[in-house]
């Protein structure tokens, strides 16, 4: 067997397992498969709309799943699979990316490794129709003597608002994605190798972590010069309150062509979940940044120290008894002396697909409506994107 055929063989085998599990033992609920099986709850217990988390879902996330009892999770098989079928109206010939992308297949493992240790691993089999990488790989220790403390190590999320990692928008909020010279702030908020400590009290969430590379498994021992960041977050957040308010920030260094860029940021956010009687939800994020050495411009001239900012404002409306979520979002990024101002507007619709044998199937549609952001496409918009996302638990018994 040739090496080139190996990813195709793996995908074929995993898809066969996925399809067999679909017809072998379908489940009536529609949350993250293992959590649904463990608790018997619908997706609405943790999600405003999968994967966007509500207040209780955010509480489960920041505790590293310790909010769910081990006895419940141990009843489930720890593996599940997801496949995404995506389209993008601006992709295709000449863009380097496929217009219709069926190559997004991942396998997850979650649960308790020990009585006080939880874990989550996500490995892409294919991503963007290419061989996939390691997305997530962490262990979290929950000391019995300090039940509100959670210690993470591995390739882990950083302290930031939950929609940075769990959003039903195809393009998430861009407040922290300003490109300042050679420094792309968006990379600061991806999963990275490091450690994080989280104190999760009844109404207070305090988190801090130190992060290195975002590379695959080889990044575990990669201590070469690169992006190194201390990040933090303090928020007023309760498992039963739809309102969350907080501040977060970062201090770090990253190599650029002219030496080392020392950067820092401060940000604030407000998140409100949609409520009953068509009460809308909202998300507002504002971040200020500074870069001491942003590198060189296109003409080879070194930038001076740069100040920049970004913000995102979004409003959500839950429809059809929680089976659909409609949102409108505006993003603005001011890169200061290194790039000027970009902005964009988008409308997103996320919904549960009502197919009995596919209880974990969700659909997403996004229209980017203009502004001068690259999100709007070369013609100024609108740009259309869509995705079908199927998650399937691997079940070993009928």
Q: Region 76-81: what's the mean pLDDT?
A: 87
Q: Any idea which fold 6-393 has?
A: Porin (2.40.160)
Q: How far apart are the first and last CA of the chain?
A: 34
Q: Is the pLDDT of residue 1 over 50?
A: no
Instruction: Specify which of 131-135, 214-218, 352-356 reaches the highest per-range mean pLDDT.
Output: 131-135
Q: Let me know if 353 is exposed, middle or buried by CB neighbors in 10 A (0-12, 13-18, 19+).
A: middle
Minimum mean pLDDT among 22-36, 199-213, 301-315: which range?
Answer: 22-36
The reported pLDDT for the residue numbered 21 is: 39
pLDDT at 243 over 50: yes
- CA 308 to chain centroid, in Å, comes to 23
Regarding predicted confidence, which is higher, 197 or 34? 197
- How high does pLDDT run on average in the chain? 86
Q: Are the C-beta atoms of residues 96 and 78 closer than 8 Å to each other?
A: no
Instruction: Render pLDDT for 260-307 as a digit per residue (tens, 0 to 9).
Output: 999 999 999 999 999 988 899 999 999 999 999 999 999 999 999 999
Q: What is the pLDDT of residue 11?
A: 43
4-18, 60-74, 139-153 — most confident range:
139-153
**Choice among 92-101, 143-152, 195-204, 206-215 with the minimum mean pLDDT:** 92-101
Asked whether 52 and 350 are in contact (CB, 8 A), the reply is yes
* Beta strands at 259-272 and 243-256: parallel, antiparallel or unpaired: antiparallel
Per DSSP, which regions of 50-133 are E strands?
Answer: 52-53, 79-88, 100-114, 117-127, 130-131
Query: Which pLDDT score is estimated for 6?
Result: 38
Res 93: pLDDT: 64
Chain-centroid distance, C-alpha 74: 26
How many CB atoms are closer than 10 A to CB 321?
7
Residue 55 CA: distances (Å) to CA of 161, 236, 248, 273, 348: 12, 11, 18, 7, 21
Determine the Cα–Cα distance for residues 40 and 44; give it in Å rounded to an integer. Answer: 12
pLDDT of residue 51: 93
Question: What is the rounded distance in angstroms from the CA atom of residue 1 to the CA atom of residue 20?
Answer: 25
The tens digit of pLDDT for each residue in 380-391 reads 558 899 999 998
- CA dihedral angle for residue 155, residue 139, residue 166, residue 99, rounded to 10 degrees: 50
Residue 5 pLDDT greater than 70, yes or no: no
Task: Give pLDDT tens digits for 144-178.
Answer: 999 999 999 999 999 999 999 999 999 999 999 99
372 pLDDT band (50/70/90 cuts)?
low
Is 251:228 a contact under the CB 8 Å cutoff?
no
Contact by Cβ (8 Å): 48, 54: yes
Pair 286, 267: CB distance under 8 Å: yes
Tell how strand 306-319 and strand 324-334 pair up.
Answer: antiparallel
More confident residue, 372 or 345: 345
pLDDT of residue 295: 96
Predicted pLDDT at 26:
31
Q: Give the Cα separation of 39 and 217 in Å (integer).
A: 32
Instruction: Please identify which residue in the block is written with the tokens 């991942």.
Output: 106
The pTM score is 0.87
Section 89-117 average pLDDT: 86
As given in the structure block, the two tokens for residue 16 are 């066969």
Rg (CA), the chain: 21
In this prediction, residue 223 carries a pLDDT of 67
- Rama region for 47: left / alpha / beta (φ>0; ψ in -120 to 50; rest): beta
Q: Is the pLDDT of residue 332 over 80?
A: yes
């Amino acid at each position: 067997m040739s090496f080139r055929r190996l990813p195709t063989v793996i995908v074929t085998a995993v898809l066969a397992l996925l399809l067999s599990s679909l017809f072998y033992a379908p489940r009536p609920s529609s949350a993250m498969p293992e959590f649904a099986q463990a608790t018997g709850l619908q997706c609405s217990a943790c999600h405003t709309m999968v994967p966007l988390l509500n207040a209780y879902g955010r509480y489960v996330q920041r505790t590293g799943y310790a909010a769910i009892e081990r006895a419940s999770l141990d009843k489930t098989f720890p593996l599940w699979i997801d496949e995404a079928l995506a389209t993008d109206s601006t992709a295709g010939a000449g863009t380097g990316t496929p217009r219709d992308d069926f190559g997004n297949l991942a396998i997850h493992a979650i649960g308790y490794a020990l009585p006080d240790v939880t874990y989550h691993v996500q490995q892409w089999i294919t991503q963007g129709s290419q061989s996939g990488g390691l997305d997530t790989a962490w262990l979290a220790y929950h000391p019995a003597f300090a039940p509100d403390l959670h210690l993470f190590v591995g390739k882990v999320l950083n302290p930031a608002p939950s929609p940075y990692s769990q959003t039903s928008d195809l393009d998430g909020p861009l407040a922290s994605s300003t490109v300042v010279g050679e420094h792309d702030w968006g990379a600061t908020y991806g999963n990275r190798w490091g450690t994080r400590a989280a104190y999760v009290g009844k109404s207070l969430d305090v988190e801090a972590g130190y992060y290195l590379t975002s590379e695959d498994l080889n990044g575990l021992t990669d201590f070469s010069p690169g992006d190194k960041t201390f990040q933090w977050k303090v928020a007023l957040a309760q498992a039963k309150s739809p309102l969350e308010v907080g501040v977060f920030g970062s201090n770090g260094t990253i190599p650029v062509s002219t030496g080392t860029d020392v950067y820092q940021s401060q940000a604030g956010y407000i998140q409100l979940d949609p409520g009953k009687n068509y009460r809308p939800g909202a998300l507002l994020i504002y971040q200020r940044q500074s870069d001491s050495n942003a590198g060189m411009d296109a003409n080879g001239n070194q930038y001076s120290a740069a100040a920049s900012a970004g913000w995102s404002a979004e409003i959500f409306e839950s429809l059809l008894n929680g089976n659909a979520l409609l949102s409108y979002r505006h993003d603005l990024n001011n890169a200061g002396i290194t790039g000027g101002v970009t902005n964009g507007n988008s409308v997103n619709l996320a919904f549960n697909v009502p197919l009995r044998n596919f209880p974990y199937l969700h659909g997403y549609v996004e229209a980017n409506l203009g502004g001068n952001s690259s999100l709007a496409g070369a013609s100024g918009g609108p740009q259309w994107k869509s995705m079908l996302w199927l998650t399937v638990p691997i079940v070993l018994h009928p």
